[in-house]
Amino acid sequence: MASGPHNSTDIDFDASFRLGDWLVDPAACRIIGGEGEYKLEPKAMTVLVCLAREPGQVLSRERLEEQAWQGMVVGYDSLASAIIKLRKALGDDSRSPRYIETVPKKGYRLICEVSAAAPEESVSAPTPVPVTTSNGIAKAEVTSPPAVDAAPRRAWIRFALFALAALIVVAALLYGLFRPLSPPAQEPAIGDRHVIAVLPFRNLSDDVQQDYFSDGITADLITDLSKISGLSVIARNSVFIYKKADVDVRKVRELLGADYVVEGSVRKLGERVRISARLIDAGNGINMWADRFDGTLSNIFAFQDEVTARIIDALAVKLTDRDRTRLAHKYSDSIEAYDEFLRGWQSLWLSSREGMIQARVHFERAIELDEHFARAYANLALTYIYDHLLGWSNDPDTSLRLAHAYADRAISIDDGLPQVYWVKGFADIFSRDYQQAVVHAQHSIELDPSFADGYGLLATVLNYAGKAEQADVEMRKAMKLNPRYPAIYRTIHGEILFNMHDYDGAIENFRLALEANPESEEPRLWLAAALAHTGDLDEANWQLEQIEFSGSKLSLDYIEKVIPLRDPAQRKHLIDGLYKAGLKI
């Protein structure tokens, strides 16, 4: 198989070019061949152009992510998903590739010929269609669907839609439970509270698979510092935008309002660990202290305690009795259980069926090693909520019962964790127990008034309960507490605005959510419905096609059964939009 011309630099990759038998039009995000014309997501097209610029060369995952996502924090599977979509569009086979070859542990390379397009093949490029994903939906009486002039629907679109529906709430709450604790307020704290940002610790190990450990160390430091009433700690999702990026701490002060920054690195080799950390005054860039920890995994909790104590001393923070009690509390006494928990937590972020299965195995192992590990029970409960939502279980009702049982167990072990009530409230929503969901969301906020995700859960409950206007108020509180909020906040707010019939606002939020996380199906589904209600049926239908490209196989019947929109008018509103977009019964 040819590896492409040696003079590929002579090709104008901003214009049309040929990729084997395909004509590629980057500006319009489409490829044209004997089997038809296909639109690609902008990120997938960017990946394709990156590969085409260096045919025959192996490009690493890191390099492709850097070029396609330009410093944005994306899920580990975002690149893999883009490659899968490219292969589907090109008609390629990963086992016998003709276009894109996977080089294990190294990256990807283009193995077909790349050449300039002939003058007569130049195509005028319409404005690229922005990427969007799909999400959860309502149950509705699909009686007489409105007449639509939608373009012919592909038959396979029929089975495209529930993962989306489910993903609506899934994403929203996925984000809450999985960042270990308390998202702090970003505004200058009341009185003398110092605002601290704990930047993602760098993984200096040779194995990128050890990212779970350095990410876990970062998240737990955020959690521990958030227990101190004299500190305001920047939320995890706000600081993780700086992962894999060189950061000027003064820029962190400007963008996040941080007075101080904690940064460090982790090198883990077997049972040996070396961790470096330092506290920096964000105003002048001066180190207030720096230290290095060398030891074994069995000493990791001692390291976390030491860093917390050094920060308290350096900032002369006065601890209350409650602060001391909360700091003395440990989530697990077992290093092995803690390590399994961190591995499961990392897999959970993938938001995929495979990732959820892997996460469940790790959480179950953590519980076997420490039967009093409340956080492991809570995260295990969340994996069963996913099963129920996304149709991954043959018995969704049993999955929901297990979710409640594990959430209840987490609360019985440690009723002082906001997140155990958060996941319980999440399960309540799908049991249609809206009142209890509100109670649990409010209790998580009482435990930590800066818990932005608690307000996000409250907004989600109110929206599903048919109170979109109230939901809008609570969602704006969550966004104010966590100004650098994650994509899921955009998705939740977009759904609220959709239910308020503010299509322009909803569409804007869904598009921004997709820019941050192109693989999320949740916002794409709702975007399709919103676009259809504005009359943009072509793009609405295209959004559904992208969902099908991801391999989702859903039915409206299942969506109607599982998605807990209480108001019949809201359910019909969503279903009508999806029908107009091209979703079949």
Token pair recorded at residue 269: 């080799």
CATH 1.10.10.10 corresponds to the domain 8-121: yes
pLDDT at 148 (0 to 100): 38
CA distance 487 to 320: 35
User: Cα separation of 42 and 29, whole Å?
Assistant: 6
Q: Of 518, 556, 569, 508, nearest to 160 (Cα)? A: 556
Q: What is the pLDDT of residue 528?
A: 93
156's tokens = 């396979």
Tell me the domain boundaries of the chain. Answer: 8-121, 194-328, 333-413
CA distance 430 to 387: 12
Q: Please check whether the two domains, 8-121 and 194-328, share a CATH topology.
A: no
Given a contact cutoff of 8 angstroms between Cβ atoms, the answer to whether 526 and 491 are in contact is yes
Q: How far from 85 is each of 45, 89, 93, 266, 585, CA to CA, in Å?
A: 10, 6, 11, 35, 25
**Positive or negative: CA dihedral 87, 88, 89, 95:** positive
pLDDT at 469: 95
3-class secondary structure, 23: strand
Q: What is the pLDDT of residue 431?
A: 93
Q: Write out pLDDT tens, residues 243-276.
A: 766 777 777 887 778 888 888 888 888 778 888 8
Taking the C-alpha atoms of residue 564 and residue 461, their distance in angstroms, rounded to an integer, is 10
**Residue ranges in the chain whose pLDDT is less than 70:** 1-9, 35, 71-78, 105, 120-192, 206, 209, 236-238, 241, 244-245, 321-323, 325-330, 349-352, 390-391, 484, 519, 549-555, 558
Cα–Cα distance, 348 to 360 (Å, whole number): 8
Express each pLDDT in 1-51 by its tens digit.
Answer: 444 444 455 787 878 888 888 999 888 888 888 767 888 888 888 899 999
Classified as helix, coil or strand, 36 is: strand
10 Å Cβ neighbour count for 476? 14
Report the distance separating Cα 469 and Cα 483, nearest Å.
Answer: 21
How is the beta sheet containing 22-25 ordered, strand by strand? 36-39, 30-33, 22-25, 17-19, 114-116
Are the C-beta atoms of 523 and 113 separated by less than 8 Å?
A: no
Nearest Cα residue to 373 out of 330, 326, 405, 404 = 330
* Domain 194-328 top-level CATH class: alpha beta
Q: What is the pLDDT of residue 493?
A: 96
| Beta carbons within 8 Å of 308's beta carbon, 6+ residues apart | 221, 224, 225, 228, 327
Find residue 198's DSSP bridge partners: 262
User: According to the model, what pLDDT value does residue 116 have?
Assistant: 85
What's the CATH class of domain 333-413? mainly alpha
DSSP codes of every residue in 550-577: TT----HHHHHHH-----HHHHHHHHHH
Q: Torsion-angle region of residue 348: left (phi > 0), alpha (psi -120 to 50) or beta?
A: alpha
Backbone Cα Rg of the chain? 24
Phi, psi angles (nearest 5°) of residue 181: -155, 180
pLDDT at 160: 40
Residue 35, pLDDT score: 66
Q: DSSP label at 179?
A: S
For residues 528 and 134, the answer to whether their CB atoms sit within 8 Å is: yes
153: its two tokens? 């629907």
Q: Which residues contact 415 (CB under 8 A, 6 or more apart)?
A: none
CA distance 409 to 375: 10
Average pLDDT, the chain: 77
Measured CA to CA, the distance from residue 35 to residue 89 in angstroms comes to 10
